[in-house]
Structure 1
Amino acid sequence: MTTQWTTPSVLGRRLQRTYVGHWFAGTQGDPYALILRAQRDDTTPYEEDVRARGPVFHSEVLDTWVITDGALARSVLTDARFGGLTRAGGRYRAELLPPAGPEVGPARAGVRGGVRADADPAVSAQDEVVVEALAEQLSRTLLGGLGDDFDLVAAFARRLPAQVLAEFLGLPAAARSRFEELLAGCAHSLDSRLCPQTLDITRTGLGAAAELRELLARHLGGSGPRSAQAAVSLAVEVAAPAGALICNAVEALSSSPGQWNALRQNPEKADAVVAETWWRRPPVRVESRIAQEDVDVAGVPVPADGHVAILVAAAQRDPAITPAPTKDDTGTPGQGDCGVPLGLVGDAHATSAARTVRALCRGALRALAQEAPGLRPNGTPVRLRRAPVTLGHARFPVARTGRGTPTDAGAA
């Protein structure tokens, strides 16, 4: 990490200038810049503005090619001509945005999060079963220690991923509390890669990521798919999306009593609920890729080292790839051979993160349906600001007193 990111005054000015650049572009009518401003609970209008400008929109001020077309998005995400780093092994806009999460420290071309792009996933399909069982077990423990009213974010959705990952990675009991604290400090990492955070959040995140690496290095090997570096990246790329997906699923179920009842009666429907929530309210809304060579994308030339942003939520609304919405109110997604949702797809590391997020959320929803069958919003959920990637919740007050199905937040 260079001096420019360790000196608070310099770091603060850099963050402010970058954020001002987003605001300036937004005032000029750039919808992608308005998305990166991240000051709205619902960015759908901006995403649809991008779609209206063609399959590939070039945000000139931010020098980014933006995609909302579903088939084109999947093509880019799985195309080896696009990667997470520049050809020199650097980050997108590294001179403007500070390193975030697992990116603290040297990066190597062809490697993402300590796992080679062409490697087998570190988290296998068999591991999913383990993660899901851990998530269900630890969810029951967490819920058992909560009262009738609690914040779903702070008390459950933020803590559960850290506890599951600590167990899955085999961390000793003495290190788990600190691991959970450090992972909470990295909570804004995915969003900070595209949107500057406040100075305090940025400094906390940089320090937490560095200490997290040191903690894992003391307990894990130095190479291979389960190395400390790979574990840091897996943890950071799982925690925030998993928390967001849990809250998004509960919020969706709260407005659909039939689906909540179906889940209560048959907790195995958690898989269908997770799948549909990932389509309708994805936990990763923007994916970032760098062209490794000059590429023609739907007739638009993107130069080598050009930055491409895939608006996952918008691409998944494309009727050409998305399944039909649930019509029977039972929690069963629409049918059709539409493939897996976008976001966290592509290389081995992303596959590991996606598998872990899905399994973790399935276990969490099963436990919630069984241990808190009367769960309902107990106030208006509040979304984070400066969170264009996850659009996560800052607070989500819920209650599990009384009986019956969740009610609409406005009626709580």
Structure 2
Amino acid sequence: MRFDPWNPNFVAHPYDVYDELRRESPVSYFEPTNQWLISRHADVNALLRDRRLGRSYLHVATHEEFGRPPEPEFHEPFWRVIRAGMLDVEPPVHTRLRRLVSKAFTPRMVESLRPRVRAIAGGLVDAFVEKGGGDLVAEVAEPLPVTVIAEMLGIPDQDRHLLRPWSAQICGMYELNPTLGAQHAAVRAASDFAAYLKDLAAVRRRAPGDDLVSALTGIPELTEDELVGTCVLLLNAGHEATVNVTGNGWWALFRNPGELARLRGDRSLLPTAVEELMRWDTPLQMFERWVLEDIEVHGVEIPRGSEVALLFGSANRDPAVFEEPDRLDLGRVDNPHITFGAGIHFCLGAPLARIELMESFGALLDRAGTLDLRREPEWKPGYIIRGLRALEVSAAA
């Protein structure tokens, strides 16, 4: 089985194929998606920082000039929202947005959230243990980051149930060759979320609160579309990966009981354990970039107008960088994984994600005396954002 992102067996275990790609064809053309696959850590890391590539090309060329078909008209509401956030734009727009948003997303502000994150995680785990377990993804992994980002944005309790479906549908557009149904769902979700956020921003302008939407409305240089795009990005990026690191991470621990026992016996390993779990089963398997100027990688010329697919999951298992990369080592200290990206698009929310993961794993280890897997989980069909459908676990204090 070669690279096949629509094959459930490949999605469940892509690492043997990655190993083959790194050894035999570290730069290879994948015709079904018209992309160049980049599989080695050094190349992925370098290209993430290379300004000859970008998340978008629309600041330098039209679709036609890049040899790409125009986007369907019905996509317009989706891209109006997404391209108003910093992830899918390039300098100078990206530089301005990141500078402005960073004012409201300081390290001190993020660290101040730790007690609240700890309380939310503890409450979720207590309820999970009290009922004897259940689906760890749906009952612990998902509610924690969604609740945190909802509180940060100042979204009222009664509306928070809308967030997870909106995010999941929006992220469906980022999968490889999404179905027409997935595209329409993404457009509807983006439109509905944008309308909701515009209404919420109007309320916060009249009566500001102690929340991120209020802080963003107070930045005059930020347009309404940019405020909306920023909030949508914070929801999507702020919880999708955290949910999957939690689910994938516990599945990894159940498959490596010796490491789970090691962590239970030495809680000081928790910081390196979180980093290792992000590396070992990476939640974002692929990150794409457009080639804005001709480049050459390992003697392979990749012309302007091409798209490269940077295989994060492969880079994080590269033996040239990680000793025994297929071994889960919760005490691994030399761990330059690229789960959060690199360069100007390095994840702004990485400090918050680390806090959420530390508190989530810590609460489960502290408050659940036993955790046992009830049945082997299934993977969701998505490849780029890769996670479990559910993780059924029995739990006892």
Q: TM-score, normalised by structure 1?
A: 0.76
Deviation at 1:262, TM superposition (A): 4.1
Change in CA separation of 1:229 and 1:108 when aligned onto 2, cut-off 3 Å: closer
Task: Please tell me the residue identity of whatever aligns with 1:231.
Answer: C
CA distance in 1, matches of 2:392, 2:30: 38
Q: Residue 211 of structure 1: which of 189, 192, 200 is its match?
A: 192
Deviation at 1:144, TM superposition (A): 2.9
Q: Residue 151 of structure 1: which of 127, 135, 139 is its match?
A: 135
Stretch moving more, 39-48 or 198-207:
198-207
* Residue 183 (str. 1) matches residue 164 (str. 2): yes
Q: Secondary structure at the match of 1:383?
A: coil
Task: Please tell me the residue identity of whatever aligns with 1:332.
Answer: G
Give the structure 1 partner of residue 41 of structure 2: 70
Task: Please tell me the residue identity of whatever aligns with 1:155.
Answer: E
Change in CA separation of 1:89 and 1:269 when aligned onto 2, cut-off 3 Å: farther
User: Which runs of no fewer than 5 residues in structure 2 stay unpaired?
Assistant: 202-212
CA distance in 2, matches of 1:59, 1:372: 45
Change in CA separation of 1:75 and 1:326 when aligned onto 2, cut-off 3 Å: closer
What are the superposed Cα offsets for residues 19-56 of structure 1, whole Å, 9 maximum, x if unpaired? xxxxxxxxxx8x44x12455641122433343344221
Deviation at 1:101, TM superposition (A): 10
Give the structure 2 partner of residue 24 of structure 1: none
* Residue 112 (str. 1) matches residue 88 (str. 2): yes
Q: Residue 194 of structure 1: which of 165, 169, 175 is its match?
A: 175
Task: Please tell me the residue identity of whatever aligns with 1:112.
Answer: D
CA distance in 1, matches of 2:70, 2:239: 24
| Aligned-residue RMSD, C-alpha | 3.4
Identity over aligned pairs, percent: 19
User: Which runs of no fewer than 5 residues in structure 1 stay unpaired?
Assistant: 1-28, 404-412
Give the structure 2 partner of residue 378 of structure 1: 374
* Residue 166 (str. 1) matches residue 156 (str. 2): no
CA distance in 2, matches of 1:238, 1:375: 27
Structure with bigger RCO (C-alpha 8 Å, 6+ apart): 2
CA distance in 1, matches of 2:273, 2:73: 36
Q: Is the 8 A contact 1:102 1:236 kept in 2?
A: no
Residues 294-305 of structure 1 correspond to what in structure 2 (within 5 A)? Answer: 294-305=294-305
What are the superposed Cα offsets for residues 216-267 of structure 1, whole Å, 9 maximum, x if unpaired? 3323245549933212112112322111100111112223334334434554
CA distance in 2, matches of 1:69, 1:50: 8
Change in CA separation of 1:284 and 1:400 when aligned onto 2, cut-off 3 Å: same
Q: Residue 394 of structure 1: which of 377, 389, 393 is its match?
A: 389
* Residue 273 (str. 1) matches residue 264 (str. 2): no
Higher percent of residues as helix: 2
CA distance in 2, matches of 1:302, 1:85: 17
CA distance in 1, matches of 2:237, 2:90: 13
Q: Is the 8 A contact 1:264 1:373 kept in 2?
A: no
Q: Secondary structure at the match of 1:162?
A: helix
Task: Please tell me the residue identity of whatever aligns with 2:299.
Answer: G
CA distance in 2, matches of 1:102, 1:363: 34
CA distance in 2, matches of 1:44, 1:188: 27
CA distance in 2, matches of 1:50, 1:127: 42
Q: Secondary structure at the match of 1:208?
A: helix
Residues 54-65 of structure 1 correspond to what in structure 2 (within 5 A)? Answer: 54-65=25-36
Q: Secondary structure at the match of 2:349?
A: helix
Residues 31-50 of structure 1 correspond to what in structure 2 (within 5 A)? Answer: 31-32=2-3, 34-37=4-7, 40=10, 41-50=12-21
Q: TM-score, normalised by structure 2?
A: 0.79
CA distance in 2, matches of 1:301, 1:36: 27
Deviation at 1:204, TM superposition (A): 3.5
Task: Please tell me the residue identity of whatever aligns with 1:140.
Answer: G
Q: Secondary structure at the match of 1:213?
A: helix
Give the structure 2 partner of residue 18 of structure 1: none
Residues 323-362 of structure 1 correspond to what in structure 2 (within 5 A)? Answer: 323-324=323-324, 331-333=330-332, 335-336=333-334, 339=336, 341-362=337-358
Q: Secondary structure at the match of 2:111?
A: helix
Task: Please tell me the residue identity of whatever aligns with 2:94.
Answer: A
Deviation at 1:198, TM superposition (A): 5.1
How many residue pairs were aligned?
A: 364
